[in-house]
Structure formats: C-alpha cells, structure tokens
Amino acid sequence: MDRTDKPWTALYDTDVRAEIDGPQFRTIGDFISATADTYGDLPAFTTCLPNGMNGTLTFAQADEMSDALAVYLREVAGLSTGDRVAIQVPNCLAYPVMAMAIFKAGCVLVNVNPLYTAEEMAKQFADAEPSAILIVDMFADKLVEAMHGHPIPNVIVTRVAEFMPALPKWIVGLVQKYWDKSVKPITLPHIRLPDAIVAGRTKHAELHNAVDGYRRDVSPDDVACLQYTGGTTGVSKGAMLTHSNLLMNMEQTMELIKSLERGKEVALTALPLYHVFAFTVNFLGFYSIGARNILIPNPRPLTSMKRAFENYKITWLSGVNTLFNGLCNEVWFLDTPPKHLKFASAGGMALQGAVAARWEEVTGKPVVEGYGLTESSPVLTFNPLGKSRANSIGVPVPSTDVRCVDEDGADVPVGEVGELIAKGPQIMKGYWKKPEETEKTIQNGWLLTGDIAVMEPDGYFRIVDRKKDMILVSGFNVYPNEIEDMLAAHPGVNEVAVIGVPDGASGEAVKAFIVKQDDTLTVDAVRSYCKEHLTAYKVPKQVEFRDELPKSNVGKILRKDLRAEEDAKTKVKEQA
C-alpha cells in the first residue's frame, strides 16, 4: 500500500508541486518540437574543443536537421516504429540531432559508450538488435568485429567537429587524419551524417506532415530508450525507459530548481550524454528551459575544459565527485573560478564532504548532491536549492516515495539503516528481455535499489553505502563510504577507495587504496589518522598507494575492479 506521509514535502518551496499529475507532452518528440518553437534562434548546443574551436546549433537548426534525419530513418533507411537505433558518439553536435531524430521517428534510442571495445559493443548489439547506428569516425573501425553477432544494416558515420564552421572542421580533420591518426579507413558500407540529412531533407519536401505522423502511434508508455546499466554490480542490462518515465523525471527534477531563468542559463556538460543523468537533466531538462548546452567531447585531462570556462558564462554544471575534486586541484581553475556559476550538481557516486566544502570555498557556490539509478530515469532525490545539507542526497523529488526497509521489506525506524526502495512515475518499465531480473528488482511497484540508507526525521536521506560493498569485520558492518569520506579530508590524500579483503582472523579486513596529494604521506600516518577518527574495527588494516584508481568513463571510482584484483591475488596465493 502506498504511504500518505511524505514529510519531505514541507521542505519544498511554496511554488513547487508535491505531486505532478503527468508529463506535459505525450512523447519526447512532441516535447522537442514544441520547445524548439518556443526558443527558435537562441543557441541550444555548442561543442567546445580543448583549443577553443567551437560550433553552435540553435533550437531551430537542431529541430530542422532532426526532422530531416527522422525522415531519412523512416523513408530511406526503412525503419519502423519501435526499431532500435544506437548512438555511439562523444559529446558533440551530432548527438542531440540524432537523438531528437530517433524520437521523432518513433524509434528507440540505444546509448552506447564510445570507448567500448569491439567485444563490449558486440554484446550490446546482440542484446538490443539495433537496425541503425550513428557512430563517430574515430571508433568506426571497431564495427566490423562488433557486428559479427548482429549485423546492423544502416551505418551513419559522424565526426567530433560535425556542424562546426568550415575552417575548424577542416583543421580538426587534418589533425585526426595525419597528425594523431585517430581516424582509420572505414571499410564497411555507410553514409555520412550530413549526407543522410540532405537525403532526408529531399524526401521531407515531398511529404506532408510526415514527422508528426511517425510518432502518432507512439504512446507515453512505449519505450523511448534502452539505457544500459554500467555493469558495476554485475552484467550490464538494458533498462526500458519510456517516454513518460523520462519526461516525468525531467519535470520532477526541474521542479526543484525553478529559480533558473528560461532562455538565459548556460550549462556545461562534461558528463557524457550517453550517461543517464546527463541525458535526462543536461540534455532534456536544460533544453526544456531554453538553456545553452556547452558540450565537452572529452574532459580528460581537465585542462580540456579550460577554454569552455573562459569563453562562456557557465551558470551550472554537473559531475561526479572526482570531477569536482580534480577541478579544485587545477591551478587555472583556482586562479579564475567561474564567476557566473549559480550551483553545481553531483551524482553517480558519493560526494565526499571534504570535496563539497573545498568546491564551495573555491567557487563560492554549493555543489548540490542528488541520487538516482539508471532504472529510475535516473533522479530519485535532490537537495532543495538553498536548503542543501552536507553528506545528504536530499529529499525525494515530487511524485516520488522513498522508504528504508529491512531484509523482510518492513520499514525500519527513522534514523536507522535499511535498504532504500522507491516508487514513482520515473521507475523503468523493466529490463529488456529479462523478465526474471525485472521481478527481482521491481516488487509491488517498488524499485529495490541495493543501497543502504538512513531517513532523517524531516525527510532528508543519507546513503550509507552499496549493499554489496558492505564489509563484515568480526560480525560488524563497515561501510566504505564512511571511511572514504573521512580519509578524503586528510590534506595528503587526493583520491581514495576502500574495499573489504579476506582475513583469516576477522573474516574480512578493511583495505584502503590511496592516490597521494602529498608524496611524504606514509602508511603509518594514514593509519594513525584513521585511529583518531574511527573505531578500531573500521581502521584500514591494509593501505596501498597507487598512482591512479580505476574509474568508469564518467569518472566513478570502480571498487569492483579493485576487488577483482584482490580476488586474483588471493587465488594465486591459494594455488601456490
């Protein structure tokens, strides 16, 4: 039974709707066209390269080009309603044009990580069975091997500098072809993105209201995206996110940041658009308020973002803990922090208290933490602006219920730890072709997140850790987040990850992996610092210094990779 008590709604501003009846638009295609009509000639998307070269599309230009591309997909490529179309490109102008076209064509978008190996691509293609793909030329050579299991009949190739002015596009092309040789010959049949748009534009001129007709049979509950989970807790699965899921989550999130000005915001998008948070909030959410989206193809090294901060009046950016930590260690960022920034938002991994404090000290503006999963489109909670609480993931967004439960599914008392479960209109339809996995994850309409959390009396929530990451030391529960947050505050620590390793005496022991900020830092100093702040069984028994920690493509530190390394070491010892 749904609960009626939602104490967190008292924390909403008076103009925030506690319940949202439904999305304003039937489909994402409808939303895109209507929004373009509103903002017309305002700049919508700008790609900014590390050297400052850039290109921009207005709302009207992106709308017209995506109309033409939608016609190409249906009339030339021969796709039908519900067919899957993969996008495998970094943040660049081609991404929003193609994504918009897919929705307008009544097809399903499949986001693919551009950095995937051919083997990883093959697995996702075999599962999603796309009928077309847009891929960046730098990685198109992997397609031949990747399509052995599932041939993709329509291949559209783009480049990072697509739709930029002629001179920068020519320069980038020369550099990629002759200097760094990052673009290899493409040996399979394909069409270039501009040519596909021209072909679609020609067909479009012959048809009447074709684009409107493509989505006429698409319902709000039809799948809009197959968004594959990162696989950080197991085999990657395709979450079926519907038009209603995504449009509602966009509205739920933007409802809590209504103070942003329509047509005037400038959002920096360093997180890849194939990541669900960047997709829903940066792409859809900021598009909805007429914001200009500054797209960063690759934020590594962090100096790649320097010209974007210099050339544009950034008012908002999103990122993960490692991005904010890294920027606060960059001399150029410290010398000239963004002057127009209103706030930043963090997700994807725990925001460490020391990093949040340092960010606010440097920029004068808060970094606001939220929380969500791929399976929830993704936002479940967010810190209300002006009421942000340290070490908190905030409060549930409108029309969302969140509980903390024990192993039997019963509510735990307020202030006690339990598994966080959630219900709301943003919860996925299920996992693509995996009904058994869906039944394990969604029970009686509640999404089981696998995260251990605490609800405070006024409705704020705090994540303790991943259920699967908990360490059991002599029968005591130890949560890595707590230790990582404490160690991150040490001036000699740059980055840290904590896992459990086998231990004959206590079952498991705590091991910390540290990237130094101060080269003089020693193991003894780390352990002494921990003993000052932690009870004895939480103090790392082992400390290992690393030059770097394994990270996902969005910068999330991967504890699972560290555990795999330790497991391999254990097996070698056992076999010796």
3-state SS record for 487-543: HHCCCCEEEEEEEEEEECCCEEEEEEEEEECCCCCCHHHHHHHHHHHCCHHHCCCEE
- Banded pLDDT at 367 (limits 50, 70, 90): very high
Categorize the per-residue pLDDT at 116 as very low, low, confident or very high, splitting at 50, 70 and 90: confident
Q: In Å, what is the CA distance from 228 to each residue of 147, 241, 431, 485, 501?
A: 18, 10, 9, 29, 29
**pLDDT for residue 254 is more than 80:** yes
Domain residue spans of the chain: 57-218, 471-575
Q: Taking the CA atoms of 443, 449, 452 and 458 in sequence, report the sign of the dihedral they define.
A: negative
pTM of the model: 0.86
The more confident residue out of 28 and 533 is 28
| Mean pLDDT for the stretch of residues 310-336 | 94
Hey, what amino acid is at 146? A
In this model, does residue 233 exceed pLDDT 50?
no
Tokens, residue 18: 């506690």
**Radius of gyration for the chain, computed over Cα atoms and rounded to the nearest angstrom:** 24
Q: What is the pLDDT of residue 149?
A: 79
pLDDT score at 232: 36
Average pLDDT, the chain: 92
237 pLDDT above the threshold of 50: yes
- Tens of pLDDT along 118-157? 988 998 999 999 999 999 999 999 999 999 878 999 999 9
Percent of the residues in the chain that have a pLDDT greater than 70, as a whole number: 97
| pLDDT, tens only, 44-93 | 999 999 999 999 999 999 999 999 999 999 999 999 999 999 999 999 99
| Mean pLDDT score, 92-115 | 96
Q: Which two tokens stand for residue 356?
A: 């949040």
Residue 488 φ then ψ, to 5°? -65, -20
Pick the residue with more confidence: 232 or 520? 520
| pLDDT band, residue 1 (cuts 50/70/90) | very low
Look at the domain 57-218 and name its fold. Rossmann fold (3.40.50)
Q: What is the pLDDT of residue 84?
A: 98
Predicted confidence (pLDDT) at residue 3 exceeds the cutoff of 60: no
Give the residue with greater pLDDT, 164 vs 476.
164
At 426 the pLDDT is 98
CA 476 → CA 224, 455, 510, 529, distances in Å?
44, 21, 12, 21
Let me know: does 203 contact 89? Beta carbons within 8 Å: no
Question: Per-residue confidence at 472, pLDDT binned at 50, 70, 90?
Answer: confident
Q: In terms of DSSP bridges, do strands 292-295 and 266-269 run parallel, antiparallel, or are they unpaired?
A: parallel
The pLDDT of residue 4 is above 80: no
CATH of domain 471-575: 3.30.300.30
pLDDT at residue 78, rounded to an integer? 97
Count of CB atoms within 10 A of residue 433's CB? 14
Q: Which of 113-122, 125-134, 179-188, 368-377 has the lowest mean pLDDT?
A: 179-188
Instruction: Give me the percent of the chain exceeding a pLDDT of 90.
Output: 76
57-218 and 471-575 agree in CATH topology: no
Residues of 207-245 as b/e, b for ≥16 C-beta within 10 angstroms?
A: eeebbeebbeebebebbbbbbbbbeeeeebbbbbbbbbb
Tell me the backbone φ, ψ of residue 328, rounded to 5 degrees: -75, -5
Of 225, 247, 235, residue with least CA distance to 112 = 225
pLDDT band at 576 (very low <50, low <70, confident <90, very high): low
Per-residue model confidence as pLDDT tens digits over 407-421: 999 999 999 999 999
Closest to 540 (Cα-Cα) out of 513, 567, 505:
513
pLDDT higher than threshold 70 for residue 214:
yes
Q: Please check the confidence at residue 231 and state whether its pLDDT lies above 60.
A: no
The 10s digit of each residue's pLDDT in 419-466 is 999 999 999 999 999 999 999 999 999 999 999 999 999 999 998 888
Q: Which of 398, 448, 446, 449 has its CA nearest to residue 6? A: 398
Q: Please name which of 103, 187, 105 lies closest in space to residue 141, comparing C-alpha atoms.
A: 187
pLDDT band at 351 (very low <50, low <70, confident <90, very high): confident
Could you tell me which residues come within 8 angstroms of residue 400 by beta carbon, excluding any fewer than 6 positions away? 252, 380, 381, 422, 423, 424, 426
**Ranges 298-312, 366-380, 495-509: which has the least confidence:** 495-509
